[in-house]
Amino acid sequence: MKQIVVLSGKGGTGKTVMTGSLAALVDNKVMVDCDVDAADLHLLLTPKVVERHEFKSGKKARIDERACVRCGRCLEVCRFGAVTKKLSIDMSSCEGCGLCARVCPAAAITMEENLCGEWFVSETRFGTMVHARLGIGEENSGKLVAQIRQKAKEIAKKASRDWVIIDGPPGIGCPVMASLSGVDAVLLVTEPSCSGLHDAGRVIDLGKHFKIPVSLVVNKWDINPAVTEQIEKYCTDNGVAIAGRLPFDRAVVDAVIQGRTIMEGESASLKVEIVKIWDRLKGAVL
Amino acid sequence: MIIAVASGKGGTGKTTVAVNMALVAGSVRFLDCDVEEPNAHLFLKPAFQGEIPVSVPVPVVDTKKCTGCGKCAEVCVYHALAVIPSPDKKPQVLVFPHLCHACGACSLLCPEGAIREEQRSIGVIEEGVCGKVYFVHGKMNVGEVLSPTIIRRVKERIDPDALTIIDAPPGTSCPVVAAIKGVDFCVLVTEPTPFGLHDLTLAVDVVRQMKIPFGVVINRAGLGNDAAEDYCRTERIPVLVKIPFDREIAVRYSSGETLADKSLVMAKIFSKLYQNICQVKNEADRRS
């Protein structure tokens, strides 16, 4: 069983459209949507939820006002600015370290378990999908990503699936690293812009850091052929395989509006390109 | 006034909106808080005056003072310290700096005073000037995770007397909250697609929960459907401006060009955006 993650660095370059296409194209796989704070893959795959789980992670401080002697020791030690001047907890800043509770002389602070999201196992027209919903403004997205990837791996092993295909989050931070750890390949989807190049470069560095092979697709390549060539040259110079190019095509937006993948959409030429991209990617992994 | 530009979904045009609004707003401070993938400098092209390291304190154990009692590992909820037993000598403390959140519990609570803190670099802040814009951004080192820490450091550059524009990261989790906390107004940029709409609703949940006045910019109007606009109407959310889809804009963006200083039509759209923000903000102030 091989795991492939679709990443981009910069948001909005077409990760989810690409993952959706692979979901339609690739046989015998499990899908995972690891963009847990703004998940969109379900809009293309319309999953039917079969399992629902709470995601609890970390703790948050709570001050019992009746027990509090208002000494301000908690405010003094908290490095996250999570204790307000009125000695209450700002939940969105609390990182759950528990130092306040440990130093409180009146034992007025308790650390309470934090319910910070939900995750699901679902069935779709293209097979099983594991996905999640992180609560608004929550931390621990990396842990939630690790949790759903673990579940997807278990399902894939049990059902002898060949592939786990992961839709990754934008950026290079904690949920990206959790999406990336231990995968067999990264499919990097970028766009031909200076931002696309800049951000793809940071994902390529991250791939090197973790010693994971990266293949690249330039989406909407014809918006700027010169930058496309610049990106591809950068890749060649940095040991990144070129998996292909996709042109700008309104058929993509039309398909998304209808809740369909490109493979179910109107553009035959895009389908041909996606098949080529998959063949090259498969060649790089197997 | 501090205005943040956020979106939920990535790639909807946050940086385009933030940068071009800065160009028409006159004298502004521009803070790029997308520290994982900062891009605004590619458009504003400021002359940076060196870089300031952002570091976090991580524990260092003085093995002479350490008795191996294990208190530090016990208090660290992030498992950044582990005490390894040893048959012939005292237990040894291992530190995993990448797991450390720099809360300071271990050094404060070590009964022997055996833990001091050393600074570990996780990124940089760069600042510089471009025209009337004073530009600041944070850049997290590849392989690091503490982006909210860097964002908070970038926000220390807010000038309360000046107009400040913050380019926020995508998503709805802790980095976004860190970027938009305490701002006076939040612009949510969306695109007229199901992805754009879905992530807009999540972003709206964030700003409503944080009680920040906000409005929506619909970018690439005409490329998708009317669902985002219908949603705004139903939810009584002001649509501040619509930016039409134009392949020419995409081409300019791709080459790192700005829009408002090169096209009268674009200058008008972004001026209108700024005026509408002021108006919506004033109405919000009057109501509260």
Task: Please tell me the distance from the alpha carbon of residue A182 to that of residue A4, in angstroms, as a whole number.
Answer: 10
Write the DSSP symbol of residue A40: -
Beta carbons of B177 and B161 less than 8 angstroms apart:
no
Asked if A265 is an interface residue toward chain B (Cβ–Cβ < 8 A), one would say no
Per DSSP, the three-state class of B157 is coil
Dist CA B190 CA B49 (whole Å): 34
Mean of pLDDT over chain A: 96
Domains and CATH numbers, chain B: 2-54+123-287 (3.40.50.300), 57-120 (3.30.70.20)
**Crossing angle, helix A268-285 and helix A15-25, to 10 degrees?**
80
Amino acid at B71: K
Which residues does chain B have within 8 Å of residue A172's beta carbon, measured at their own beta carbons? 36-37, 140, 142
**Of residues A175, A176, A200, the one with CA closest to residue A189:** A200
pLDDT score of B87: 83
CATH number of this structure's domain A57-115? 3.30.70.20
Please determine, for residue A277, whether its predicted confidence score (pLDDT) is greater than 80: yes
Say if residue B140's pLDDT is above 90. Answer: yes
Region B221-246: mean pLDDT is: 96
pLDDT-derived band at B89, boundaries 50, 70, 90: confident
Residue of B nearest to A16 (CA): B195
* pLDDT given for residue B288 in this prediction: 82
Which residues lie below 8 Å from residue A120, measured CB to CB, with a gap of 6+?
Answer: A47, A49, A50, A51, A52, A53, A130, A131, A132, A133
pLDDT at residue A140 is higher than 80:
no
| B16: nearest CA partner in chain A | A195
How close A142 gets to chain B, by Cα (Å)? 10
Q: B103 vs A193: CB contact, 8 Å cut-off?
A: no
Q: Which two tokens stand for residue A161?
A: 């699936």
Q: Where are the domains of chain A?
A: 2-46+125-285, 57-115
Residue B83: pLDDT over 90: yes
pLDDT band with cut points at 50, 70 and 90 for residue B145: confident
Q: Which amino acid is at B213?
A: P
Q: Which amino acid is at B146?
A: L
pLDDT band for position B160 (50/70/90)?
A: confident
DSSP character for A222? Answer: G
Say yes or no: A249 contacts chain B, CB-CB below 8 A: no
Q: DSSP code of A264?
A: G
What is the residue type of A212? I
Does the pLDDT at position A141 exceed 90?
no
H-helix or E-strand containing A137? none
Q: How far apart are CA A232 and CA A242, in angstroms?
A: 7
Please tell me if residue A257 touches chain B, with a CB cutoff of 8 Å: yes
Chain mean pLDDT for chain B: 95
**pLDDT at A249 exceeding the cut of 90:** yes
Q: Do A171 and B169 touch (CB under 8 A)?
A: yes
Cβ A283 vs Cβ A254: under 8 Å: no
3-state secondary structure of A16: helix
- Nearby residues of B87 by Cβ (< 8 Å), 6 or more positions away: none
- Give the whole-number percent of chain B exceeding pLDDT 70: 100
Q: Answer yes or no: are the C-beta atoms of A155 and A14 closer than 8 Å.
A: no
For residues A177 and A166, the answer to whether their CB atoms sit within 8 Å is no
Q: Rounded to a whole number, what is the distance in Å from the CA of B3 to chain A's nearest CA? A: 19
Work out the burial of residue B82: count CB atoms within 10 Å of its CB; fewer than 13 is exposed, 13-18 middle, 19 or more buried: middle
A240-259 mean pLDDT: 96
Is the domain covering A2-46+125-285 a CATH 3.40.50.12170 domain? no
- pLDDT band per the 50, 70, 90 thresholds, residue A108: very high
Q: Residue A139 above 90 pLDDT?
A: no
A25-32: average pLDDT = 98
Distance, in Å, from the CA atom of B187 to the CA atom of B39, rounded to the nearest integer, reads: 18
Number of residues that this document lists for chain B: 288
Contacts of A277 (CB under 8 A, 6+ apart): A187, A217, A243, A244, A246
CA distance B24 to B262: 11
Burial of B167 (0-12, 13-18, 19+ CB in 10 A): buried
Query: Which amino acid type is present at position B169?
Result: P
Whether residue B143 and residue A142 make contact (CB cut-off 8 A), yes or no, is no
SS3 A66: coil
State what percent of residues in chain A have pLDDT above 90: 93
ipTM reported for the complex, 2 dp: 0.91
Asked if residues A166 and A6 have their Cβ atoms less than 8 Å apart, the reply is yes
Test A37 with B42 for CB contact under 8 angstroms. no
- Best of A195, A199, A202 to substitute, by most chain B Cβ atoms within 10 angstroms, is A195
Q: How far is CA A200 from CA A178, A187, A255, B11, in A?
A: 18, 11, 26, 13
For residue B232, give the 3-state DSSP assignment. Answer: helix
The mean per-residue pLDDT over the stretch B192-209 comes to 96
A13 touches chain B (CB under 8 A): yes
**Strand, helix or coil at A46?**
coil
The alpha-carbon gap from A248 to the nearest alpha carbon of chain B, in Å, equals 10
**B206-223 pLDDT, tens per residue?**
999 999 999 999 999 999
Per-residue pLDDT tens digits for B27-39: 999 999 999 999 9
Residue A138: pLDDT band with limits 50, 70, 90? confident
Averaged pLDDT, B130-140: 96
- Mean pLDDT over B52-58 rounds to 96
The reply to whether residue B172 touches residue A9, judged by beta carbons under 8 angstroms, is no
CB contact under 8 A, A40 and B11: no
* pLDDT band for position B88 (cuts 50, 70, 90): confident
Q: In which residue are the tokens 């950026």 written?
A: A171
User: In this complex, which of B143, B199, B253 lies closest to A209 when CB atoms are compared?
Assistant: B143
Q: What is the pLDDT of residue B59?
A: 98
| Of residues B68, B96, B98, the one with CA closest to residue B83 | B68
- Please list, residue by residue across B113-142, b when 16 or more beta carbons sit within 10 angstroms of its beta carbon and e when fewer do: ebbeeeebebbbbbbbebeebbbbbbbbbb
Under 8 Å between Cβ of A53 and A132: no
Q: How far is CA A217 from the centre of its chain?
A: 18
Question: Is A194 in contact with B254 (Cβ distance < 8 A)?
Answer: yes
For chain A, the C-alpha Rg in angstroms (whole number) is 22
- Of B9, B15, B77, which is closest to A98 when you measure between CB atoms? B77
- A185, A165 Cβ separation under 8 angstroms: no
- Minimal CA separation from A82 to chain B, in Å: 11
Chain B residue numbers with beta carbons less than 8 Å from the beta carbon of A98 are: 75, 77, 105
Inter-chain residue contact B105 with A97, CB threshold 8 Å: yes
Mean pLDDT over A225-250 rounds to 97
Per-residue pLDDT tens for A146-159? 999 999 999 999 99
What's the gap in Å between the CA of B55 and the closest CA on chain A? Answer: 14
| Local confidence band at A227 (pLDDT 50, 70, 90 cut-offs) | very high
Phi, psi of B227 (to 5 degrees): -60, -40
Give the 3-state secondary structure of residue B168.
Answer: coil
Contact A136 B171 (CB under 8 A): no
- The residue-averaged pLDDT of A198-207 equals 96
* pLDDT given for residue A181 in this prediction: 94
Residues of A in contact with B11 (CB under 8 A): 10-13, 170, 191
Determine the distance in angstroms separating the CA of B203 from the nearest CA of chain A, rounded to an integer. 9
Instruction: Report yes or no: A227 at the B interface, CB cutoff 8 Å.
Output: yes
A138 vs B174: CB contact, 8 Å cut-off? yes
The per-type count for chain B, helices as H runs and strands as E runs, is: 10, 11
- Residue B4 phi/psi, 5° resolution? -105, 145
- pLDDT band with cut points at 50, 70 and 90 for residue B26: confident
